Every structure is written in C-alpha cells, then in structure tokens.
C-alpha cells in the first residue's frame, strides 16, 4: 500500500516558496555586486600576476589550502607572505615587485599593469647588467679567456669587453 500524503502539506502556504524571499535574495545580490566590482578589477588582476610570479619563484602557492575555496578565502582574508621569507635568494628588487603586487590593500598594489611592467623591466635590466658584469669580470680575471676573446685586461678595462681584431692568417 502506498504511503498517504497529506493534502494540506502541499498546499500549506508556509511550505511554499515565498516570492518575496526570492526577490530579497536577488536584491541582496544586487546590493553586494557594487562591493564585489570594487574588489575585482585591474588591481586584482595584478595580484594574480604577482601570485604567478610568487609560485614560479618559490615553488609554493601564495596561500596553501585544502581546497580551491579555502585558498580563495585565504587570499581574501590573509596577507601574502613576502617572497623572500620563503625564497631568500630572490633579489630584493624582484621581491619588492612581487610583494607589491600581492599587497593586501588594493591601494598599496601597483596602480596599473604599465607601472608593474616598467618595474619588472627595470629589474630585468639590472639582472642583465649584473650578468654582463660577471662575465666581463670572469674574462678579465682569466688571462687565457682574455687572450681567446681579445678582451682588454687590467684595471683600466672597467668591466667592458673590448674585442680586438684578429690578425689575418696568411
């Protein structure tokens, strides 16, 4: 025998969805959207770029959580650690770029992508110049390399590799 259902139960107004309640939920969402749109924008995109750089430099996520939702919650409620606390060998200049991108307060982040790009390029140029300087130092301080490359050596060389023309073979 099939179980009986109470006819009152399906017509009871207390059990029916309240159209006003549905409207209230929509109204609540509408009131929250401006706040969300203030939080999500170009500076949150720069946070994501900083998070990608952080992971590339440290091998770790900015915030470790058990789930994606937990990581998102941590990103919204916890400050990011400085890159150098996890990877102390990262240059201070590069760490400053990443840390600023990950600043908890949006106003403290890079004002726009162009400003962050300029900072990243400046760090890259410093690294390039440092690398060239190290190569020049190695060449100058290794007489056999200086002879092979034709680099000038000695105190007047000023870390500049000067190529001398090779004598033509006859």
Looking at the structure, tell me whether residues 31 and 102 fall in a common domain: yes
103 and 153, same domain (yes or no): no
d(CA 51, CA 101): 8
pLDDT for residue 79: 92
What pLDDT does residue 32 have?
54
- Under 8 Å CB-to-CB from 75, ≥6 apart: which residues? 47, 51, 62, 63
Query: Range of 136's domain?
Result: 129-170
Domain co-membership, 141 together with 105? no
Model pLDDT, residue 122: 93
Among candidate residues 111, 142, 161, the one where a domain is terminated: 111
What average pLDDT does the segment 120-147 reach?
A: 75
Among 68-72, 91-95, 136-140, 141-145, the range of highest mean pLDDT:
91-95
Same domain, 102 and 158: no
Mean pLDDT (the chain, rounded): 74
Return the pLDDT at 130: 80
Q: Are residues 31 and 103 in the same domain?
A: yes
Band of the pLDDT at 170, cuts 50, 70, 90? Answer: very low
Residues 87 and 157 grouped into a single domain: no
pLDDT in tens, 83-109: 999 999 999 999 999 999 999 998 999
Question: What is the DSSP code (8-state) at residue 159?
Answer: T
Q: Is 121 buried (19+), middle (13-18) or exposed (0-12) by CB count in 10 A?
A: exposed
Query: What are φ and ψ of residue 3, in 5° steps?
Result: -65, 145
Assess if residue 135 is contained within a domain. Answer: yes
* Structural domain includes residue 118: no
Domain count, the chain: 2
**pLDDT in the model for residue 5:** 47
* 70 CA to centre of own chain: 19
- Whether pTM > 0.95 for this model: the answer is no
- 42 occurs within a structural domain: yes
DSSP string, 122-157: HHHHHHHHHHHHHHHHHHHT-HHHHHHHT---SGGG
Q: Are residues 107 and 135 in the same domain?
A: no
List the CATH number of the domain containing 75: 1.10.510.10
pLDDT grade for 77, boundaries at 50, 70 and 90: confident
Residue 17 lies in a domain: no
Assigned domain for 120 exists: no
Assign 74 a pLDDT band (cuts: 50, 70, 90).
confident
6 lies in a domain? Answer: no
- The verdict on 97 and 143 lying in the same domain is no
107 and 32 within one domain: yes
DSSP 44-109: HHHHHHHHHHHHHHHSS-SS--SSHHHHHHHHHHSPPPPHHHH-TTS-HHHHHHHHHHT-SSGGGS
* pLDDT at 162 (0 to 100): 44
Q: Is residue 54 part of a domain?
A: yes
20-45 per-position pLDDT tens digit: 555 555 565 556 555 555 566 677 78
């Amino acid at each position: 025998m099939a179980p009986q259902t109470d006819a009152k139960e399906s017509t009871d107004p207390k059990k029916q969805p309240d159209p006003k309640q549905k409207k209230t939920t929509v109204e609540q969402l509408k009131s929250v959207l401006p706040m969300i749109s203030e939080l999500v924008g170009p500076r949150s995109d720069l946070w994501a770029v900083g998070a990608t750089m952080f992971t590339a430099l440290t091998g770790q996520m900015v915030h470790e959580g058990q789930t994606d939702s937990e990581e998102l919650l941590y990103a919204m409620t916890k400050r990011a650690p400085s890159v150098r606390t996890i990877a102390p060998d990262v240059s201070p200049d590069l760490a400053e770029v990443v840390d600023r991108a990950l600043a908890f307060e949006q106003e403290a982040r890079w004002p726009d992508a162009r400003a962050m790009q300029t900072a990243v390029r400046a760090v890259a140029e410093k690294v390039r110049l440092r690398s060239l300087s190290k190569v020049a130092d190695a060449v100058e301080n290794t007489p056999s390399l200086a002879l092979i490359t034709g680099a000038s050596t000695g105190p007047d060389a000023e870390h500049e590799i000067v190529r001398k023309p090779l004598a033509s073979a006859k």
